[in-house]
Amino acid sequence: MEFNLIDKQQEFLKLLQIQGKSFNTVKNYKADLQCFNVFLTDKQKHLKMRSFSSAQVQEYSQYLSDKYDSPNSVRRRVQALRLFFDFLLSQNLFPENPLKKMAVSPKVLDNPKPTPFPEVLKTYQILKKRVQNYDGLLQLVAARNLIIFHLVYGAGLKVSDLAKLHLASILKDHKGFRVMVEHPKRDPYSIPLPPIFNADFQFYKNLYQQFLKREDLEIPELLFNANPYKILSGGLSPRGTELFFEDLRKETKTDMTAKSLRQSCIFKWLNQNINHTTMKEWLGVTPSYSLELYLEELKKDPSANVFKDLEPYE
């Protein structure tokens, strides 16, 4: 059965959106599949498919190796195409996935590039001042953004974790607060939050609940999406969090991303001598995940990675 490749790719990307994949993830898949489209157009001058032979698989593998120096770039594009062919297989358009036997090199992990601690501290101070200086909905959004910062630097959460949190995910214990993280394929686990989180969260929670009551809204999510005039919906998508960090970079004149701030948190935990097994649980990674690159960076320049919990700022 012959089909138009572009049409099927659009269906595949739409499915990823429905599954909750982030804006950037979907954008990357689209770019990776476009690489395959360029290859096919160059070889067969059209984007209609009926089959994809073993010989074509090997030819595409060589094409990627010639085009990209980075093994990770090749690996990502192969993985994207493999998942796309799984999608075609589910629609009975292919009898098997021709990419299953395509060998790729192991993933090469990049050296961590954490946000330096002075920039972490400066960013917290900027976010705290926003909360103090704004009022109304602007103050609520500023307080929300401060909570995002705490959850990434304080608890090492990924943007995909943030999108799923509810107010009930913040648990009170005798030492302060913990954040409960729930994944569909593993048992839930909780991560302790540093003491500086306590007052900022209490302020945010009270302000948030007052606003919801005043606007007659029932939203269980911890975070929310808003325009300058009103709350639009509960929850904040990974793209919404990325936009917050984009805005932050413009003001702080730094290269901070959610990823670099999370890496700063990992160095903080290493400096606090947190058990590595516990750290991996908090990071939501497998027991086989290696922290070696972080340990090597500490050995190279221990003074460069002296991260710690923040102190209250007035």
- What are the residue boundaries of the structural domains of the chain, listed by start? 3-90, 117-305
Tell me the C-alpha distance between 286 and 181, whole Å. 15
Instruction: Band the pLDDT of 48: cuts 50, 70, 90.
Output: low
151, 179 Cβ separation under 8 angstroms: yes
231, 215 Cβ separation under 8 angstroms: yes
pLDDT tens profile 187-231: 899 999 999 999 999 999 999 999 999 999 999 999 999 998 999
pLDDT above 90 for 290: no
Q: Residue 273 phi/psi, 5° resolution?
A: 60, 35
276, 88 Cβ separation under 8 angstroms: no
Identify the pLDDT of residue 223. 97
Identify the pLDDT of residue 13. 93
Identify the pLDDT of residue 314. 56
For the domain spanning 117-305, the CATH number is: 1.10.443.10
pLDDT tens profile 120-177: 999 999 999 999 999 999 999 999 999 999 999 999 999 989 988 999 999 998 889 9
Q: Which of the pair, 168 or 286, is modelled with greater confidence?
A: 168
- CATH classification for the domain delimited by 3-90, as one of 1.10.150, 3.30.70, 2.70.98, 3.40.50: 1.10.150
* Tokens found for residue 30: 């689209």
- Which residues, other chains included, contact 253 with Cβ-Cβ below 8 Å and sequence gap of 6+? none
Q: How many CB atoms lie within 10 A of CB 305?
A: 21
**What pTM was computed for the model?**
0.73
